[in-house]
Amino acid sequence: MREVRVPGRSLPNGARFGVGLSGILRPGRRRIRNLLGPSEAELRANLAGEASADAALAIQEAEAAEAAAALEAEASLEPTEPEAAPGVEVPDVPGLPAEPAVPRDLTAAAFFDVDNTMVQGASIIHFARGLAARKYLRTSDLVDFAWKQVKFRITGKENSEDVAEGREKALSFVAGRSTAELARLGEEIYDEVIADKIWAGTRALAQMHLDAGQQVWLVTATPVELAQVIAKRLGLTGALGTVAESEDGVFTGRLVGDILHGLGKAHAVRTLAVREGLNLKRCTAYSDSYNDVPMLSLVGTAVAVNPDADLREVAKHRGWAVRDFRTGRKAAKVGIPTALLLGAVGGAVGAILSRRREHALLTELAADRGASRVQPMKTLRRCASSR
């Protein structure tokens, strides 16, 4: 994927810019007007959202231009067909795009969070694993980053120091590297790690919107270059993600605005809707996290997918649909540590239950054959196989 330059943007002006979203962070709480205007965090979130929408549309435009150029080049190599006589139907030319089977719905779209909604676990951790395997990261860095994700999933709250430290580490990694290199690594690591971690149920929901002729976008804090790889592999329209500044195809080590999350995601969706002429009342948003309530509240239909406890409560209060594709009902706080514990403990518990069931079956078989006590295991297994 060739480099796409995102034009630089200044901080948005206007005393009330972006303040309207702050009231939906805590449903039911009374909103207090900020007479001094938006906070610095709100300004950075707004800037991140606009930059994300700019980058997403720029990438989409660049890929469309590349596809058109490739088709034109391919067509120029083929022999020219003579024009058909009037009234004679001209057959389709191989290589040219066919008419879409489904009419496009120009004003509706679907927006999907990525981590634990579309992808099992945190996509950035999967990417970090791939980088560590390639010696781009030290194992200690991977463990430290994963631990911060664990804390976030347990508490459901972001620690400002952890967020700042994680942001600086990520930026120090990409600084001086080419955007093409990050995209290439993203494609390799997706195929190796992430492809098998797509929730089939969520993927089916995305396909449902595609089949209806609607745009389908990922919305994530993951870098936009990596998010675009996931969207492209899944056949989606595109991705809204965190934008890192680049010059001449090389990352500078600075973000445009901030990490795309919370209010930033909501602003990215709103900005994209304006640019694409979408009617947000006809749009749908999907997420697992309470932190995405601002984005979910923007659209006409909100769906909680594999929700955390807080989002489940909000969904119940607001009448939002809930889709849970996890195997079994887990504890109220479901996250990375819970999954790890269930993975480790579940195997032992499963083995114990399996042995108990086997013992019960073999005891029953022994009773059927008139045995007064449980026969040796090998003999009873033969009984079971012959039954």
Residue 368 has which token pair?
A: 């059927």
Same domain? 257 vs 367: no
pLDDT at residue 105 in the model: 96
Q: How many structural domains comprise the chain? A: 2
In a domain, residue 268? The reply is yes
**Which has more confidence, 64 or 8?**
64
Q: Which range has the worst mean pLDDT, 8-22, 88-102, 173-187, 317-331?
A: 8-22
| Distance linking the first and last C-alpha atoms of the chain | 61
Render 220-233 in DSSP notation, one character per residue: EEEEHHHHHHHHHH
Cα–Cα nearest to 150, from 342, 340, 22: 340
Maximal CA-CA distance, the chain: 94
pLDDT above 70 (res 360): no
Of 1, 6, 107, which is closest to residue 48 (Cα–Cα)?
Answer: 6
Last residue of a domain, one of 277, 304, 322: 277
Whether 29 and 128 map to the same domain: the answer is yes
pLDDT of residue 155: 53
Answering whether pTM is above 0.75, one says no
In this structure, the answer to whether residues 143 and 47 fall within a common structural domain is yes
Q: pLDDT-derived band of residue 334, with 50, 70 and 90 as boundaries? A: very low
Is residue 95 a part of any domain in this protein? no
Task: Classify residue 290: in a domain, yes or no.
Answer: no
Q: Domain for residue 133, yes or no?
A: yes
- pLDDT tens-place string over residues 170-210: 777 788 899 899 899 999 999 999 999 999 999 999 999 99
CATH number at residue 214: 3.40.50
The pLDDT of residue 102 is 79
**C-alpha 161 chain-centroid distance:** 24
Domain that holds residue 33: 19-70+119-277
C-alpha count within 13 angstroms, C-beta hemisphere, residue 347: 5
Confidence bin at 228 (pLDDT 50/70/90): very high
Identify the burial level of 61 via C-beta atoms within 10 angstroms of its C-beta, where 0-12 means exposed, 13-18 middle and 19 or more buried.
exposed
Which residues does the annotation mark as catalytic?
113, 115
Tallying the residues shown for the chain, one arrives at: 387
With residues binned 3-state (H G I as helix, E B as strand, rest as coil), the percentages for the chain, rounded to 5, are 55, 10, 35
Q: 369 and 247 in one domain?
A: no
Is 77 within the bounds of a domain?
A: no
